[in-house]
Structure 1
Amino acid sequence: MNSSESIYSVSQLNREAKRLLATHFMTVRVEGEVSNFSAPSSGHWYFSLKDAQAQIRCAMFRGQQQRLGFKPGNGDLVVVNAQVSLYEPRGDYQLVVEHMEQAGDGALRLAFERLKNKLLAEGLFDDSRKQGIPPIPRQIGVITSASGAAIHDILTVLQRRFPAVPVVIYPVAVQGDSAKSEISAALELANRRGETDVLILARGGGSLEDLWAFNEEVVARAIAASRIPVIAGIGHEVDFTIADFVADLRAPTPSAAAEHAVPSQTEWLGGFKFMENRLLEKLRRQLTQQQQRLDWLNKSLQLQHPGEKLQRNAQRLDELELRLQKSSRQTLWQATQLLALNSQKLRRFQPTAKIFQHRQTLDFYRQRLQRAMQLKLFSLKQQQNGIGQTLHAVSPLATLERGYAIVKQQSSGQIVKSAADIVENDLLETRLAKGRIVSLVKKIIPD
């Protein structure tokens, strides 16, 4: 070994390598996929950037993260501005990241969210500023590519649903650098001409990058400034663009946009038929009511006719004359009847006749009373004799005289009707035709 050759320590070598890297590369932009991402409690980020053949360690310190609008994750494709450096303690070659942005689709989505939030804050998405779609437009404007599938789908739907409405096509590029300018210019042209009642802004499906013209701010502001209602039918149902949020109505597809622009001719004609039937029915009811009213007025007029009134009054006069004659005859007959009745009453209440009548009545009642008293006395005597005989026949004493006796329990006074009513040693009182006997039960013999 030549003693004149310099010998580096590990620390010196790593330090010198770090200086050379920093001096040679200055700031570099590197694109790669994030992997092995970690965010310890210090707030710094540590990860690797890789492509198909290699990877490099990266560090992004907390102070540099504040300017970012997102937090990366494993699998994200990013572009970083970084200093090429070397971590001396381990001798690891690394990038110290100063700035990071999403690459490809991720960058577009970040731009999408930024513009969306900006326009949302300005109120361009508010429902209060959106215009209503006319039920039947006088003429429809379509802003789309003249050669794409979207225009074919839109015209097919319009022809099927309501072919009577004419269509004006404003051909534009829907993809590429010139698309945003052509679309915004077409919106301004349609408003300047004022020949349509509604505009359909449409294109078929595609990637976020394919649809990007409809996420440009100039297009969004042209839609918001349109005095003609705009229906957006861009991409497929899952695709959302800034134009969808600003438009007066968002349809999931170009075909759906066409369906929203016009009603169904069949349903519309059916509605006309329904209204025609209702109108005819209402007219029939009105005619019926007016005919009934006319009949009533005609009858009322007839009743108010002078000849009719004279006829009714003449009939009324005849009726009153007949009633007067009848009332006079009735009054005369009643007076005659009352006179005869009073004369009869006067004759009936003369004193001589009444005295004679009362004497005859008194003699009659005296004879009836004497006969009734005699008959009553005889009847009472007969009844008394019969009752006495009956009482003697049913009297217990008469039964006792024939040899029978009445037996009672001395303690309770209950009459003994059966040997089962007493027990041995009971005291019994036996009544005979003459006298009573008190006995003690020694033995009971049932039947």
Structure 2
Amino acid sequence: MKAGRKFGKSQAKQQFPRLSEPLSTSNSSTPTAKPTALSVTQLNNQVKQTLEGQFRNIWVAGEITDIARPHSGHVYLTLKDQKSQVRGVIWRSAAERLRFDLQDGQSVLCQGDVDVYGARGTYQLVIRRVELRGVGDLQHALRQLQQKLQAEGLFDPARKRPLPRFPRRIGLVTSPTSAAVHDFLEVAQRRWPDLNVLIIPTKVQGAEAAGEIVAGIDAAHRIDPPLDVLVVARGGGSVEDLWCFNDERVVRAIAASKIPLVSAIGHEIDVTLSDLASDRRALTPSEAGELVVRSRADLSAELTKLADDLRVRIFQKHANQQAQLEQLSRRPAFTRPFDRITQQALWFDEAEMRFNRGIQQVVTKMRQQLASAAELLDAVGPLKVLARGYSVTQTADSGKLVQSIDQLEVGQSIQTVLADGKVRSTVDAIVGSDDRP
């Protein structure tokens, strides 16, 4: 790998002549020699000639960040290491020959020339060739942290909570002088003028930013009355500017927030680990205002529409009920209400007559059966037997039927029942069947 050459002090003196003497501020009349001065343009031109002449066809190793691809087809980027950075450009003709897509975080070797823009006194690396070395150290560490936190479930969609529909108190964790504050408040106040927004000031860039953001989130949970929703916001910036929102402490604080939290960090293309851990990600602070704060005008229009829909439904319901009522009123039960009663009366009359006929038939049949039974009973009854010359003997005292001579004694009183009366007599003798001649 080729490296750029350094130039020494003697060479610097040749390229950049010094003023021979300092400017005099004395009021003395003694004439002094005027120094030889370079104009800014002369200085920049000499720097341009020196740098462009010394740093040609060099190789520079670094990590890509802040890629921009305008419609011109050129590619603008920044090469950085852990301490420094330099701007670079790949003209369209060279960009079309690249064998892979350039992405933020790639570690690359770039071959090209140093180019000085004299009008501004700035320089950049004009890149003609790019070779991929692998993922940069920062991106590698970021991916490792992302995998670790994802395994712990900090990015799980199931743990994300819905935002309140009508928040009254909103906390905004950001730099109070940032554009994010202006963008968020402008949208929030326009959508709901009476909203209470509490700004929790923190740094959002630099080495101390992560600790302040964590402290700001913690302070938001101690505010009384409590906040309905919390927004962590920052405007756009480079990957380095937004790096504090990839800090593990910040990500864990966002994931542990008891208050529904919206992240609004950077622009649409910027995605940090804080975005993944938040309950809702907004592409910009302005969109955060739209997500968190409902539009009063939209709500009023929605309520008006609901009221209109309700009136239409009530009218339709009334019309349907009226039609059903008219349909019911045309039924025979309402047009001829006594028809049913008359039919039921006729049915009861017929049922009564059928019942009476049935009862009469039963009674007649039973009378016939009873008469037949009486005739049969009379035919076999004791009176008929007596009428044929038979008699019945009973004891005189108890009227017990005498069926055997063993029931009688000599001198006992008995009575004989004949067909036309009774005869009382006394037993003179008892003659058994064995005693008959």
TM-score, normalisation: structure 2: 0.44
Larger radius of gyration: 1
* Structure with the larger helix share: 1
TM-score computed with the length of structure 1 as normaliser: 0.43
